[in-house]
Structure 1
Amino acid sequence: MLSASAQKTFKYGANLQKVDSTGFYRINLQPAFIAKAKGDMADIRIADAMGNFVPYIQAGSLPQKDQKSFVVFNTIDARLATDTGTTYIVENKTGLPLDRLWIKLQNTAVQRKVNLMGSDDLKQWFAIQENIPLQEAVQNSEGTYMQSLSFPASSYRYLKLLVDDKNKTPIKFLQAGVYTEYAATLAYTPIPGLRFTRADSNKTTFITIKLNDNYQVNKLHLNITAPKYFKRNVTIYQVINGYKEAILEAELNSIKNNDLLFAAKTTELQLQIGNGDNQPLVINGINVYQSNEYIISYLDGKQNYHLLAGDSTAQAPEYDLKFFADSIKANIPAINHQAIVKNIVASAEKPKAAKDYTALIWLAIIAAVGMLLLLTLKMVKEVGKKAGK
């Protein structure tokens, strides 16, 4: 049973599957749960039966042992005049979609936050995730340390790290890259319940996709059945509170699978396909997906646990567990959560107000006075009659 304070703070919850024994577990976060969380998932918490928060780390923060599989990205010198703070830009030369990036830094014990952006041309940049906390260095003798940044899956050619350290001493990035086995095995979960409409006009096809919740979307697939050969430009927009923002410019091509990879958190997407002088594409179906999201926690086999989300004011938690990530084995059991429910606290019943008899008392007094007046008048008349005899 959750404490009342936890229920008041977090609007949504879901029971966790009961674990058989005490140990580390990987918790799968389904699209319906992520939809209730903030875009950066900073408000996700695990609570025990007493309402106490239980530490966790994101799955992407696990250290990798096999350095042979680590691919170092090329560093790009393309700082913009509008950038404030330390900037570090790298090129994703794998060509694969990524949902995490490992960065190597010079040892530091300061606290900084970083914004991650993506671009395909080094000119127009799109937000991927904001306010990611940089960890402090773990004690070692090497003078450097590695940190993993997890984020919604993206396929941008260039990634920019912009550190919020204006007017402060900058931190030093040494390199960034990925472990190839992670990049190659990125998996997705379908998002249910979408509806789409299309309109063709002026050599352009407009498609609107409506989702039944504020889902995190990382992949969109168009089932194009005709013509046999095509090559069209497409722009994807996410719509938030009526505002339309371009999040991806890509190409649809008959020799590709037409999976469009990006990062969005929205209830509505819009696609604009340029047809030129060609007939519009025949699209028989559209599918949207969320990249698989996990958190890892040490759970007691005798306890019941609950996932929480939906606090717009929550900041990302800082748990000691991040310093013990090497204690977690690569293949740990996975568990799921149950259906998402609203956390409702029953308001205290207002005490019933005591009945007010004032009006009745006054009515009784007025009636009594009236009766006395009538009796008095009657007696006066009787006396007058006797006196007249």
Structure 2
Amino acid sequence: MMKRYIGIAILSIGFIPAVAQQFKAEATLPLTDADGFYRVLITPEVAAYPNQTFSNVRLYDAQQKEVPYILEQEQPVYQKEQFREYTIVEKKQEPGCCTMLILENPEKAAINNINLLIRNAEVIKEATLSGSDDQKSWFVIKEKFTLQSIDNPNEAAAMKTVNFPLSNYTYYQLRINDSTQAPLNIIKAGYYNALTSIGAYTEVSPRSIATADSIKQKKTYIHVFFDTLRLLDKVELSLTGTPYFMRQVDVYERQARNTKKGVKDYYEFVTSFGISSAGAAIVHLPMVKSRELMLVVDNQDNPSLTVSSLKVHQLNRYLVAWLKKGEKYTLRFGNEQLAEPSYDLAFFKDSLSYQSTVLKVQNVRAIQEAGKKEESPTFFTDKRVIWVAIILVIGILGFMSVRLIRETNTQKKV
């Protein structure tokens, strides 16, 4: 008998809907002209919804099937090496003497290394490097150094680097002593140039900027307000005032925490940077997500400065996925219960070939707000029905408790 009551209670509870919105927002992708891997740009409008790791983002096709993707982001600042090959002006071998190689540096670039691609040879050679601007007068740069153990186990040639003091001659002459051995086979020569590149950013427009000076604290407070949560990765600040200045700036982000008295806002320190009259300062933020930034300029005993320019940027991040021509796709984000997805695509990240087109999301909308406006109450979402179900469950549980007590007392009397 008791099992029957419990079953009725469970069924009654089952009628109470667990109304919880899984995703906070969604957006659509533009139709593509061809099948292939595309990079979908996460715009500032979209970045307000995902978490810090972007694990609560999902991509769905027209049949509402999940589409695998990988997350890719620009590097704020990165270096890459570029091999620049020299023109071999002259290459000759003098029997019983040496091999002479003359390389041209037409741009007179300042260099401190020459890389030689040489066919494998187990030898030790003595060499001298000289420089000239007219191929007539030669000046020693590095003398009596050795080239040895030219052995690449994977290829038939090996790259050998000759380091030397920084110079900018138009021509370089390499003389290799071959008086007692056969000459080396030098295929090409050049140098590695380290290039510094800056990742792509998208500007995030503030809703407003307010400044205030505190004479007592000797500080200037700059508040940067946004219309909603924004993902912030870089700030560019330019100040004007006195002809020469050098100040320290602290950056804070506005956050909220739950307390016994309710939600309380506070400012959390992010980073510090210096700014001077020499020009604008650029500071990289550690992926801050906030509605407000506060920059505090320490004036010490100096007069306050004026903000002449302030820009905030979000580092470009992309979802890389295989999209079919003309098919509709939907991005949904903000489901805090989702764990990071596990897709096979992650194992082939370095092998992907992208379409040149970068897609921007369209029609970003908050799902919860749209539901409030468009959806009408149904039988199981009507608040009156929900309250009736709750009262029914309470009544059943109360009846069960009284019945259980009576049965227990009866058993004790027996």
Q: Verify same fold: TM over 0.5.
A: yes
Check conservation: 1:24, 1:332, Cα contact below 8 A. Answer: no
Aligned mates of 2:202, 2:80 — CA distance in 1: 29
Q: What is the distance in 2 between the residues matched to 1:265 and 1:326?
A: 29
**Which of 347, 351, 358 matches 1:334?**
358
Question: Match of 2:378?
Answer: 349
Residues 230 and 316 from structure 1, CA distance in 2 versus in 1: closer, same or farther, beyond 3 angstroms? same
Q: How many angstroms does 1:61 deviate by? A: 9.8
CA–CA distance in structure 1, aligned partners of residues 21 and 198 of structure 2: 39
Deviation at 1:192, TM superposition (A): 2.1
SS of residue matched to 1:339: strand
Letter of the aligned partner of 1:314 in structure 2? L
Letter in 2 for 1:286: L
Instruction: Tell me the secondary structure at the aligned position of residue 362 of structure 2.
Output: coil
Q: 1:259 aligns with which of 282, 307, 330?
A: 282
Among all aligned residue pairs of Structure 1 and Structure 2, give the percentage whose two residues are the same amino acid: 28
- What CA distance in whole angstroms lies between the structure 1 residues aligned with 2:310 and 2:284? 14
Give the conservation status (yes or no) of the 8 Å contact 2:42–2:316. Answer: yes
Matched letter for residue 349 of structure 1 = T
From 67, 91, 102, the counterpart of 1:54: 67
Q: Residues 331 and 304 from structure 1, CA distance in 2 versus in 1: closer, same or farther, beyond 3 angstroms? A: closer
For 1:103-122, what aligned pairs fall within 5 Å after superposition? Answer: none
How far the C-alpha of 1:329 sits from its partner, in A, is: 2.1
Larger Rg: 2
1:198-217 to structure 2, matched below 5 A, reads 198-201=211-214, 202=216, 203-217=218-232
Decide whether aligned partners of structure 1 residues 61 and 286 sit closer, same or farther in structure 2, where only a CA change above 3 A counts: closer
The verdict on how the C-alpha distance between 1:330 and 1:255 changes in structure 2, with shifts beyond 3 A counting, is farther
State the one-letter code of the partner of 2:30: Q
Distance 1:324 1:289 in 2: 30
Task: Sort the Cα spacing of 1:8 and 1:347 in 2 relative to 1 into closer, same or farther, 3 A.
Answer: farther
In structure 2, give the amino acid aligned to 1:219. K
The CA deviation at 1:289 is 1.1
2:38, 2:355 within 8 Å by CA — same for their partners in 1? no
Q: Deviations over 1:37-60 (max 9, x none)?
A: 112211111111222211011224
1:249, 1:69 → 2: CA distance? Answer: 34
Alignment equivalent of 1:309, drawn from 333, 355, 371: 333
Residues 196-231 of structure 1: per-residue CA shift (max 9 Å, x gap): 212111211112221111101111122323223211
Query: How far has the Cα of 1:341 moved from its partner?
Result: 0.7
Is 2:35 the counterpart of 1:12?
no
Show CA shifts across 1:57-77 (max 9, x none).
122499xxx98569xxxxxxx
SS at match of 1:25: strand
What count of residue pairs does the alignment treat as equivalent? 238
Kept in 1: contact 2:224–2:294 (CA 8 A): yes
Q: Residue 363 of structure 2: SS of its match in structure 1?
A: coil
Alpha carbons 1:24, 1:333 under 8 Å: kept? no
How far apart, CA to CA, are the structure 1 residues paired with 2:275 and 2:238? 11
Letter in 2 for 1:52: K
Work out which of the residue numbers 286, 290, 301 in structure 2 matches 1:277: 301
Classify the secondary structure of the residue corresponding to 1:184. strand
Contact residue 61 and residue 325 of structure 1 kept, 8 A:
no
1:1-389 aligned within 5 A: 8-60=21-73, 68=81, 184-201=197-214, 202=216, 203-241=218-256, 242-263=265-286, 264-329=288-353, 332-343=356-367, 344=370, 346=375, 349-350=378-379
CA contact (8 A) 2:71 2:320 kept: yes
Following the alignment from structure 1 to structure 2, what is the Cα–Cα distance between the partners of residues 60 and 222?
24
User: Is this contact kept in 2: 1:191–1:289, CA < 8 A?
Assistant: yes
Per-residue CA deviation, residues 137-170 of structure 1 (Å, 9 max, x unaligned), is xxxxxxxxxxxxxxxxxxxxxxxxxxxxxxxxxx
Q: Which amino acid aligns with 1:266?
A: S
Q: What do residues 325-351 of structure 1 show as CA deviations (whole Å, max 9, x unaligned)?
A: 233126642111113112255365239
CA distance in 1, matches of 2:337, 2:377: 25
Q: Structure 1 14/185 Cα, relative in aligned 2: closer, same or farther at 3 Å?
A: same
TM-score (norm 2): 0.52
Letter in 1 for 2:204: I
Distance 1:34 1:60, change over 3 A: closer
Q: For the residues of structure 1 that align with 2:47 and 2:80, how far apart are their CA atoms?
A: 32
Give the 3 Å change call, closer, same or farther, for CA 307–280 of structure 1 in structure 2.
same
What SS does the aligned partner of 1:333 have? strand
Asked whether the 8 Å contact 1:227–1:282 carries over to 2, the reply is no
Gaps of 5+ in 2: 1-17, 84-193, 257-264, 385-414
Q: How much does 1:185 deviate?
A: 2.9
Q: One-letter code of the match for 2:266?
A: Y
What do you get for the CA RMSD once the two structures are aligned?
3.2
Specify whether residues 193 and 296 from structure 1 end up closer, same or farther in structure 2 by C-alpha distance, changes over 3 A only.
same
Change over 3 Å in CA distance of 1:9–1:326 after alignment to 2: same
Distance 1:50 1:348 in 2: 27
